[in-house]
Amino acid sequence: MPDHVHMLIQPIEKNGIVEFIGDIIGDIKSFSAKKINQQLRRQGVLWLHESYDRIIRDNNEFLEKAKYIFENPVKAGLIDDGTKWKWWKPGIEPNP
């Protein structure tokens, strides 16, 4: 999407510790902002401070969110088929 990002991520446990989701999102936003600003030859704030994270509690909710993400560029009128989106990888689309 040209103005926002959707991600399904699962924190992993390492040495009995699970990293706080806010720290994971902060790391992703920091890294990606540096790279995007570098590519665009610009400086400054890229991402909004707020993020809209949700805890996915079961497989049905996972599929619902995955389907929303998969269909988002179609609904935005960017493409007519989710499998044509350049970030789509075969095998990750949710079942209809």
Under the banding of pLDDT at 50, 70 and 90, the label for residue 17 is very high
Cα R_g (the chain), whole angstroms: 16
Per-residue pLDDT of 23-76, as tens digits, reads: 898 999 999 999 999 999 999 999 888 888 888 999 899 888 888 888 888 999
Q: Is the pTM for the entire model greater than 0.85?
A: no
With beta carbons less than 8 A apart as the criterion, state whether 70 and 59 touch: no
With beta carbons less than 8 A apart as the criterion, state whether 79 and 73 touch: yes
Q: Tell me, what's the pLDDT at 41?
A: 96
Report the alpha-carbon distance of residue 2 to residue 9 in Å, rounded: 20
Q: Tell me, what's the pLDDT at 39?
A: 94
DSSP label at residue 94: P
With beta carbons less than 8 A apart as the criterion, state whether 24 and 9 touch: yes
Structure tokens belonging to residue 50: 């707020």
